[in-house]
A and B are shown apart, each in its own frame.
Chain A
Amino acid sequence: MEQQVGSRIIQTFHHFLEYYQESNLACGMIIARADLNAKELEKLKAHMERLEPEVGVQFSHDQTEGLVGILLDNRTIGYSHFYSLYVKDFLEENGFLSGSILVGSFPESSPYAEQMLFDMVSEIISENGPQGEIRVFKKENNKKNDSILIVDSDEKVLELVTSYFTHKGYTVHTATDGKEGVAQYEKHHPSLVITEINLSALGGYQFIHHIQHLEAVKAAPIMVLTNKQLEEDVKRTFEYGVSDYVTKPFSLMELESRMVKLLQAVHS
């Protein structure tokens, strides 16, 4: 859920990453656990530009989470790692460093640029390593890297599912109507979609139809979680190629086990 890891870094880099994703150009990404303010960030920037003047680089920081994000234009994982050594030295010398550093690159580490940054930020927040450690981010590194998109107009359902599955180690994205659902899907490419049929803006069926016909990406399995109990709806959703149908009121345990089964099928 964006709000939960709503780091400023993600917002700052959003447009850049969208661009890299679309043009399929490479970019390096460094996320460091460090406490510095805007002025100190400028210092870091000046320092790095002196050391490595050749590279196109963007800096961003998130003071509330204590994070620094660095985006390297057209660089591989190898170079990004090399660059991060300088960053570490600077941060350590000035006493800014408060944890580990995570290095990744698009498309080497992950085929989805924005999702990669998102995962990197949530990883460094959730499991901060020893100070000064530099880790290379790999998609497989995460125990359960699976992300879920849940679409429902009922905020309470979103809240419940998000807190439960985030706790279980999944990344959860949410949307409150069909249109927003499509946007979130295109942005995050989740491994599984859970959706209500009663949706505004774009109805549930249209939403399902739409994401299954998005070109370039193989659609994630879709699970329906709905108030609708009519046989016709069950029939129709399965005809649309939906993988599972759960009616409300629902059990989180049941939902999870059905989900796990679907995700296993995806991975195998």
Chain B
Amino acid sequence: MREILLGYGIFAMYYVLTINTIYFGIILFSFKEISKILKSTTFSKYKSLSGSNNVPPISILVPAFNEELTIIENVRSLLALHYPKHEVIVVNDGSSDDTVGVLIKEFELQYYKPTSIKDVIKTAKVRGLYYNPDYPNLYVVDKENGGKADSLNAGINLSSYPLISSIDADSLLEEDALIRIARMYMEKPEEYVAIGGNVRIANGCKIENGVVKNVKLPKKLLPMWQLVEYMKAFLGGRIGWSSVNGLIIVSGAFGVFRKDYVVEVGGYRGGYPGEDMNIIIKLHRHMLENNLPYKVAFCPDAVCWTQAPDTFKILGSQRKRWGRGNLKNMIEEGRFMFMRPKYKIMGWLTIPYNIIFETLSPYFRITGLLALIGYALMDMSGWKILLVFSLINILYGTLLGIGSMLLEEIAFQRYPRIRDFFKMLIYTVLMFFGYRQLGILWRFLGHIDFFRKKTSWGTMVRTSFNEDKKSA
């Protein structure tokens, strides 16, 4: 019995070690890619591009559910983006607060019957369209509640441009974020089907008039952990995944898509969270099945700032949602691509990695931990091996964290102070004592929700960016 427990425990340890090793490989790709990114961004003239005739127009879709606190500031900053031609489509998803009302008041919008909205993708009933010719590129769609995916689909139905961009109503884009993605898109317009932006944590930053003026690290524990986590996922992970065209997700907070392909794969899937990962997997599948050359890319210099949850309750609910969405996506799409040669890097690497090391990780990790605890209770003699394994695990993880921070310092330098670097480093190490374990637990609870067919969206409490300004 003892041997079995130890054996399983050690197997779980190797499992974790393998995750880290794969991640290490991905980070190496990120490093390889970063010099290319640096060169192409420093020598691009974004200012003149932002007024050029040759940049494709973009429809920005902003699904809004109970966003009356932040929506005005958000729309203002979207309208003022430095971009030659874009329209902002706010889709009110049957909010119970006055989201539509505050928009109508602020922009003096007029009601129109939704006759101009095409029916490309089926959505919940659209109640009306609001518009004011003084703001010719702002549209507000008011529809009945149908979820975020449904709102995005309604936005697609109204949009008039070939590119669409999905943006969370609680996020803020940097003024040149869109033009930076467009620059990348224009390199190979026939190949790029989706490009994701870099999501950064705005907690602790000073925000004025919808613009992040003073970048600072968050003061609170949870946002700080998420900052380190995001940096690792986005810079360390997604740059590398993108360079091998194995990116499985473009963050729902900010991404740009080819509208024709999104429509071809049937638009966003409703009913479940994780629609941002779902659309990317569907795009991969569609393009590979039809033998079309394509790329799903990550554009790290296009920045979107978002407010990270700062309480355990909200963060937990977000992570459970992610866990539920991830499981659904793997059951619905992932398993059809698992280890199938037709799906190339997606089939051989991305999907297997996600199923084995992301979706199933709670089971291996939790049972592994239990086995080790059980073993330790029966016999203490193996503690040295366990300690060595744990240390290797933490050191490996820290190394990956440092790698991501180096990428940040090489290419972006948003946190230039030495003190900030060490603060991030400390939190990278601290992550292994509590935060990681919580993340695993939340994902597991998300799976339980999935099997209990829970459909509610959980709590997501918005705080106004203005409030943040006051407290900062």
B residues 312-338 with Cβ under 8 Å of A?
A: none
Q: CB-CB < 8 A to A30: which residues of B?
A: none
Task: Give the distance in Å from the alpha carbon of A230 to the alpha carbon of B84 in the complex.
Answer: 7
Determine the distance from Cα of A153 to Cα of B77 in the docked complex, in whole angstroms. Answer: 14
Tier of interface size on chain B? 20 to 34
Contact indicator A227/B175 (Cβ below 8 Å): no
Residues of B within 8 A of A154 (CB): 47
B216 within 8 A of A: no
- Please tell me which one of the listed residues A202, A226, A236 contacts residue B76 in the complex, with CB atoms under 8 A apart: A202
Whole-angstrom CA separation of A177 from B209 in the bound complex:
10
Given contacts A177-B209, A200-B211, A232-B85, contact A248 B80 (CB under 8 A): no
- For residue A28, give the distance in angstroms from its CB to the closest CB of chain B: 38
Say yes or no for B134: interface residue by CB 8 A criterion. Answer: yes
Chain B residues near A200 (CB-CB < 8 A):
77, 80, 175, 209-211
Assess whether B82 is interfacial by the CB under 8 Å rule.
Answer: yes
- Chain A residues, CB < 8 A from B52: 229
> Please, what's the 1-or-0 string for B66-81, where 1 marks a CB less than 8 Å from any CB in chain A?
0000000000110110
The minimal Cβ–Cβ distance linking B81 to chain A, given in whole angstroms, is 8
Shortest Cβ distance from residue B44 to the other chain A in the assembled complex, whole angstroms: 14
Say whether chain A's binding surface is mostly helix, strand, loop, or mixed. loop
Residues of B within 8 A of A103 (CB): none
Asked whether any CB of chain B lies closer than 8 Å to the CB of A201, the reply is yes
Contacts of B82 in A (CB 8 A): 153, 198, 227
In this assembly, does A228 line the interface, its C-beta being within 8 Å of a C-beta of chain B?
A: yes
* B353 CB, min distance to chain A CBs, angstroms: 40
Max chain B Cβ within 10 angstroms of own Cβ: one of A177, A178, A226, A232 = A177
- How many interface contacts (CB-CB < 8 Å) are there between A and B? 61
Contact status A198-B51, CB under 8 Å: yes
Name the residue in B48, B80, B211 with the highest tally of chain A Cβ atoms < 10 Å from its Cβ: B80
A24 to B82, CA, bound (A): 41
What are the interface flags for B29-64 relative to A under an 8 Å C-beta threshold, 1 for contact and 0 otherwise? 000000000000000000110111100000000000
Identify the closest chain B residue to A153 (Cβ).
B175
Of A179, A197, A228, A248, most B-chain CB atoms within 10 Å: A228
- For chain A residues 170-190, which have a beta carbon within 8 Å of chain B? 177-179
Q: Of residues 205 to 252 in B, which have CB atoms within 8 Å of A's CB atoms?
A: 208-211
Q: Can you name 27 A-B residue pairings with CB atoms under 8 Å?
A: A177-B211, A178-B80, A179-B209, A198-B51, A198-B82, A198-B175, A200-B77, A200-B80, A201-B210, A202-B76, A203-B76, A203-B80, A227-B50, A227-B51, A227-B82, A228-B50, A228-B51, A228-B84, A229-B52, A229-B53, A229-B84, A230-B53, A230-B85, A233-B51, A236-B136, A247-B51, A248-B47
17 new A-B contacts, CB < 8 A, other than A200-B80, A227-B48, A247-B51, are A154-B47, A198-B50, A201-B76, A201-B210, A202-B80, A202-B209, A203-B76, A203-B79, A209-B134, A228-B51, A229-B52, A229-B53, A229-B84, A230-B84, A230-B85, A236-B136, A249-B48
